[in-house]
Chains A and B, each alone.
Chain A
Amino acid sequence: MTSTAGVAPLAETDVTQPSAPDDVPPPSGRKRGRIGYLLLLPGLAWLAVFFVVPFYSLLATSLFDPSGSDTRGYDMTYHVANYWNVLQDYWQPLLRSLWYGALATAFCLVLGYVLAYAIAFKAGRWKNLMLVLVIAPFFTSFLVRTLSWKLILADDGFVVNTLQFLHVLGDDGRLLATPVAVVAGLTYNFLPFMVLPLFASLDKIDGRLIEAASDLYANPVVGFFKVTWPLSLPGVVSGTLLTFIPSVGDYINAQLLGSPNQRMVGSVIQSLFTDANDYPAAGALSVILMAIIVAMVLVYVRRAGTEELL
């Protein structure tokens, strides 16, 4: 019977399918011709000129002779030593950023998973409302929210006093200007980037699968690790990426909630550009950061076996 072959061409409207080879007509939903290119052109051109080209400028800048300046101009000398120099000078903030980013991502994963799971499976008719509530606080300015944390974690504030009372903190112990505050701020600020993809993946899971697992002698914990968790992996992968990448590059939390001891690499890059006017060093550090992130993401995504995400 030709049933499968017969259904395929009619089902071709799925947008996720790769474009058809040239001998096959386009699926019924997709039109050929110039209009597609015309619609695409302005947006792609914008990204090409203001995203791709700048990245080449950044690469070039990172190889300039460091003896120039932004006012006198730079000479292109393929000065690869810039990379070595910034690594020597700034390996600490670089490592610290990756470490803080990883910690914040881990905390976000725990908090975000609980919240996303509750919304997907336990919220019932309040599902949409809870989803809205997840997003709502994050429309308030990032900086204003972070300043608010500064107040909450302040030295004579409620939180510190309580922790001192419980002897979690010493009498002169503090939260502000410590790594705890910075990681807490990062965790807070990037939480929705974790919750939303996790929710999207959890919400797709058919509740009957979990029932089937328990019918097949899996207790709730085993059922979770054998069924729910593996099925939510796509959400875990995209959630962790969406949290990790911006938190590594962020310096607002480190600056507002931390001390110079918690300085992160974004802050170094920023001040190399605007305060030190050392463009080649700033460029090199940016490229290194990007390279590390890309490498980590590739390894991670390959490990997790969800390459189609990219």
Chain B
Amino acid sequence: MAWLRRNLVLILGIAVLVYTFVPIFVVVLMSFNDPASRLIYSFDGFTLHNWLNLCEDPSMCSALGRSVQIGLLSTVVSTILGTMAAFALVRHDFRGRSATNLLIFLPMAAPEIVLGSSLLALFVGAGFAGQLGFWTILIAHIMFCLSFVVVTVRARLAGLDDTLEQAAMDLYATPQQTFWRVTFPLVFPGILGAALLSFSLSFDDFIVTNLNAGQTTTFPMYVWGVAQRGVPMQVNVVGTIMFLISVVIVVGGEVVSRRRSRALA
């Protein structure tokens, strides 16, 4: 009983954690499902069919490809622009700092539906109603990823001990060498984290995308569409793969940092 009381909070915490994994478990299970009917959603039998025939519905794979493409492009652009801005915010002095901070904060605070409808109002107002699609989605994704990149990289940069850079300069490193040999490698985990976050935000976005996509379909939009008429099990395969990739990345990162920081012992 005493043990239970001492560990009650931990047990409850683990229970919450388990709860967050319940749907993932179902997704993984369903990726091996051999459904009796597309409309009735239950586990009827084990099969590898879904894994082996991922692109049975070619429109799913093309939506998936488009999402990956948009995700990569918006990640690259928002990571570069956001990292530059983060450096400016931490390392440079300029006028209008508080206005800048507000401008970076607001896109994260506004509900997606407002972000999406604003952009749509702009595109339509500017006469681009007919051109909605890949490029307008990309513009929107870069917009909402940017703030997250700035915030993530800024936190890393602010936590960086600036005597390290002074030490580099003291040890004959020019400003360029100091940047590339000390500052950048130390900020890199933050930049990488920001890039991963951007990709997953972009890849996962539905509300903003749906408003600005025109006739173009991304993976979340595809799922939305088929949710009404019956979901192909391959969607669960994609969900499982995404989960596995994220686990490999975060656990891998954890292992690397643990190995690095493991004390002498």
Chain A interface (Cβ within 8 Å of chain B)? 13, 15-16, 18-20, 26, 28-33, 35-37, 39-40, 42-44, 46-48, 50-55, 57-58, 60-61, 70-71, 111-112, 114-115, 117-119, 121-123, 128-130, 132-145, 147-152, 154, 156, 188, 191, 241, 245-246, 248-252, 256, 265-266, 269-270, 273-274, 279, 282-283, 286, 289-290, 293, 297, 310
Contacts and interface: CB of A to CB of B under 8 A. Distances in A.
Contact of A37 (B10, B87, B94, B103): B94
Given A141-B239, A142-B220, A252-B206, A54 B94 contact: no
Contacts of B13: 114-115, 117-119, 122-123, 130
The 5 A-B pairs at the shortest CB distance, nearest first, are namely A118-B13, A249-B111, A36-B92, A139-B246, A54-B118
Contacts of A188: 19-20, 23
Interface of B: 7, 9-10, 12-14, 16-17, 19-24, 26-27, 30, 41-42, 81-82, 84-85, 87-94, 97-98, 100, 102-107, 109-115, 117-122, 124-126, 129, 139-140, 142-143, 146-147, 150, 154, 157-158, 162, 200, 203-204, 206-207, 210-211, 219-220, 223-224, 227, 231, 235-236, 238-240, 242-243, 245-247, 250-251, 254, 257-258
A289 B256 CA distance: 44
B254 A129 contact: yes
Given A19-B94, A134-B20, A270-B113, 8 more contacts: A18-B97, A40-B94, A50-B143, A51-B143, A118-B13, A138-B20, A144-B235, A251-B207
7 contacts: A53-B122, A61-B125, A136-B243, A139-B242, A148-B27, A252-B206, A293-B110
Nearest to B231: A147
A289 B16 contact: no
Contacts of B126: 57
B113 A61 contact: no
B140 A50 contact: yes
Contacts of A70: 124, 129
A32 B91 CA distance: 9
The prevalent SS among residues of B at the interface is helix
A151 B81 CA distance: 41
Nearest to A110: B16
A32 B88 CA distance: 10
Nearest to B81: A43
Contacts of A118: 9-10, 12-14, 16
Contacts of A115: 13, 16-17
A305 B143 CA distance: 30
Contact of B117 (A134, A148, A286): A286
B21 A137 contact: yes
B10 A123 contact: yes
B258 A128 contact: yes
A143 B23 CA distance: 11
B225 to A, nearest CB: 10
Contacts of B157: 15
Contacts of A279: 121, 124
B113 A47 contact: no
A270 B247 contact: no
